A and B are shown apart, each in its own frame.
Chain A
Amino acid sequence: MTLSPTTAGGEHPAQPVHPVLAYSTSLESTDIVRLDRLHERGLFIGGEFVAPHSGRFVPSINPATAQPLVSYADADATDVDAAVAAARRAYESGWRDLPGKERAKYLYRIARQMQERSRELAVLETLDNGKPIRESRDVDVPLAVAHFFHYAGWADKLDHAFPGRSARPVGVAAQVIPWNFPLLMVAWKLAPALATGNTCVLKPAETTPLSALLLAEILQEADLPPGVVNIVTGGPATGAALVAHPDVDKIAFTGSTSVGKEIQRIVAGKDRTTRLTLELGGKAANIVYEDAALDQAVEGIVNGIWFNQGHVCCAGSRLLVQESVAEEVLDRLKVRLSSLRVGDPLDKNTDLGAINSAEQLERITELVEAGVAEGAEIYQPPCELPDAGYWFAPTVFSNVQQTHRIAREEIFGPVLSVLTFRTPEEAVAMPTTRVMGSRRESGQKRVPRSCGPRSDSGPVSCGRTPSIASIRRRPSVVTARAASVAREVATASSPTWS
């Protein structure tokens, strides 16, 4: 599929392009991916690929074309039972007692073999998820590898990771992950669990199971003992069977707030020793003060909300901008927007790929319609969207009020809501007025005091982050993934390096 270039519109009309300078695509080859090997591959249980109990296979869709890629197994409760049993056996028959330095070597092996097959993983991820190949190639896969590498090193250093405490494994971990960073989420879940001596049953997202299945092949090649990792693909019923299973000791979930609440209710009915980690949705804000470097601020805003089509739990989906510079920021943002390229995710120049699923597209569309109906002002740069597949143009809402749904509910799409404020105190107070509160629910709650007196909205970072506006003296309150980022970032504007 080819796509004509995004054209600038509005106040910045496109100039006619000389034919020599016309855009031509730069498509990544898909030859490296062996889809036929993944087709009806089965569930990864006890170190083998096995047919699902029900015999049912369902298609995984390429969101850029709306065409099925391959069919994958739909696990039912019987399959989940088998996977948990395999994990339990592997845990008790050796993995639990394996010395840390030997567990480390398995993780190093996995990291290395992922590196060797990184191009294959990246292309497969883009096919299955719809994200730009530039992002899967440069972000998702290298970061996933880095997680395995990092946690490999911790496996024999746990005494240092938890000083004064004797770290021991929990047992069998049930892990349910989302579709926005499929392979990276696998790494976030598996690497630390394995490094600390647990065994895992992982359920990839319904719409993006393929990179996890390819990883299963890598686990086999790494000679990881059978049952240490089990991968059960399927839909919500599979996930429900897994989290409700009586023989799992730990449940880790990353995904929507509503499903997170359901899981918490299920776990509430279990034994009190069952542990739960939830990483849920959000409605993070970027704050731009009047003395910020505006072009840098615009870059931060763009990366904050249009990276990965806005399918990010900590996406900077709200922009709080001081009234005195609001108009200028918005103007610069519109100019920048006109240069975002929307289209084929396999094109190496693409900035915005496809929306992951028809269902997600529908949710984005519904919320954007609500924004218009509630009176916010919508701006979309004119751009041609492909006919097939699931697409949504980058969207900016201005004149947004805090009561609007688009200011309160997670859109999880390429949609930015711009609100204004007059005083820094007002800006810092605004993020706490959210209804979602989900970033706090995600369990991340570290805020450097220097970032403001009343901000309690979760991870906060200032200065040099992907999604940040730089402010002198008055740090901006923004979105960042890890608490450690806040520490690093606090140094960025420090005049006191020794």
Chain B
Amino acid sequence: MTSDERLAVRRTLKLYVGGEFPRSESGRTYPVVTPEGETVAQASRASRKDLRDAVKGARGAWSGWSGRTAYNRGQILYRVAELMEGRRSQFETELVAGGSSPTDAAVEVSTAIDRWVWYAGWADKLGHVLGTNNSVAGPYFAFTVPESIGVVGLLAPDDPPLLGLVSRLAPALVCGNTVVAVAGGRWPLSAVSLAEVLATSDVPAGVVNLLTGRGSELAPWLAGHEEVDAVDVCGADLELSRKVAFLGADHVLRVVAPGPGECDWLAESAQSVAALSAFCEMKSVWHPMGT
């Protein structure tokens, strides 16, 4: 190295919990390894305590986030797309380092951004499409409206590292849920960058909490935590999904498994109203009607 060559400043890969970027309280890290076998960084390996902190952050942020107007939530999620667009070269570079071709990386980033935009637009339309006016056999005006569930746990897939996470995170957020996401373990750089975008996108602290580490280690604790209302198992294998459902039964956890086509990440089928409704709780109201 010559004296006029500049040494790059490297980034520490941290967790994103309650709006802050802590290291794992356990002090554990794990190596991030390229397909060629080169270790490029050490990522935080979240512990059970980190997970509990994340759930606490998500629970605390829920009433504020779900209480916002749909219009406001939509604008905030659209802002995420705006900021991702501005940092797309960073996302692409990281995906390429993780083994994507430059073309694939560009398509993945574009699709992820467009997915935010698509779901952002749903915020104030969910009620129109999922809500119903029920014809009941009695003197009542009965109607049903979609509401948020609460805290949603998300086990994101390893691949694609960015688009898989975004495709499941966005619908959960649009409905007013707060999220504890466990990024795919293989290539966590994209998730960490996404956390940095979220932190600067007007998404309130605690609405999204992003952990890196081992999904198989964290999933049982996520499923068993009584403050977690639903877990999306799209990144888990069958065995782990079953474990989540079993452990969650104690507090009647909702287990969300992606429907057909919802994991064809680049396809239109990966974004759907069905995905949205999986993250909604339906509330029905019976209003007495004079006869």
Contacts and interface: CB of A to CB of B under 8 A. Distances in A.
A449 B289 contact: yes
Contact of A450 (B71, B273, B290): B290
Contact of A448 (B75, B141, B285): B141
B71 A160 contact: no
Interface string A104-142: 110010000000000000000000000000000000000
B6 interface: no
Interface stretch (B49-57, B117-125, B216-224): B117-125
Interface stretch (A150-158, A269-277, A309-317, A436-444): A150-158
B289 A491 contact: no
A276 to B, nearest CB: 25
B273 A146 contact: no
B117 A150 contact: no
Contact of B122 (A149, A153, A449, A450): A153
B143 A487 contact: yes
A153 B273 contact: no
B118 A450 contact: no
B141 A157 contact: no
B285 A496 contact: yes
A101 interface: yes
Given A149-B75, A496-B285, A496-B288, A160 B129 contact: yes
B285 A494 contact: yes
Interface in A173-230: none
A367 interface: no
Contacts of A157: 118, 121-122, 125
A interface SS class: helix
Interface string B120-158: 111111001100010000000101000000000000000
Interface in B246-291: 273, 283-290
A473 B290 contact: yes
Given A146-B71, A487-B143, A496 B286 contact: yes
Nearest to B133: A487
B78 interface: yes
A154 B129 CA distance: 11
B71 A101 contact: no
A104 B74 CA distance: 13
A383 to B, nearest CB: 36
A491 B284 CA distance: 11
Contacts of A487: 133, 143
B290 A101 contact: no
Contacts of B120: 153
Given A150-B71, A153-B74, A449-B289, A104 B121 contact: yes
A347 to B, nearest CB: 29
A104 B122 contact: no
A486 to B, nearest CB: 10
Interface in A412-467: 448-450
- Chain A, interface size: which category? 20 to 34
A75 to B, nearest CB: 35
Contact of A497 (B124, B125, B285): B285
Nearest to A493: B287
Contacts, number: 67
B66 to A, nearest CB: 16
Given A149-B75, A150-B71, A104 B288 contact: no
Contacts of B117: 101, 104-105, 108
B196 interface: no
A263 to B, nearest CB: 30
B114 interface: yes
B285 A156 contact: no
A29 interface: no
A179 to B, nearest CB: 27
Contact of B125 (A105, A160, A490, A498): A160
Nearest to B71: A146
A498 B287 CA distance: 11
Contacts of B129: 160-161
Contacts of A490: 141, 143, 287
B201 to A, nearest CB: 14
B121 A156 contact: yes
Nearest to A491: B285
A491 B287 contact: yes
Interface string A158-174: 00110000000000000
B118 A101 contact: yes
A498 B285 contact: yes
A498 B283 contact: yes
Nearest to B126: A160
A487 B133 CA distance: 9
Contact of B287 (A104, A146, A153, A496): A496
Interface string A341-365: 0000000000000000000000000
B190 to A, nearest CB: 22
Interface in A471-487: 473, 484, 487
Interface string B145-189: 000000000000000000000000000000000000000000000
Contacts of B78: 108, 149
B148 to A, nearest CB: 15
A160 B285 contact: no
Contacts of A153: 74, 120-125
A152 B119 CA distance: 12
Given A101-B117, A153-B122, A154-B125, A450 B284 contact: no
Nearest to B78: A108
A149 B125 contact: no
Contacts of B141: 448-450, 490
Contacts of A491: 143, 285, 287
A248 B132 CA distance: 36
A496 B290 CA distance: 15
A490 B78 CA distance: 31
A498 B133 CA distance: 16
Contact of B114 (A101, A146, A484): A101
Contacts of B283: 498
Contacts of A498: 283-286
A497 B142 CA distance: 11
B273 to A, nearest CB: 6
B110 to A, nearest CB: 11
7 contacts: A101-B117, A146-B71, A153-B122, A161-B125, A449-B289, A487-B133, A494-B285
Interface of A: 101, 104-105, 108, 146, 149-150, 152-157, 160-161, 448-450, 473, 484, 487, 490-491, 494, 496-498
What are the 5 tightest A-B residue pairs by CB atom distance, in nearest-first order?
A153-B121, A450-B289, A494-B287, A160-B129, A496-B286
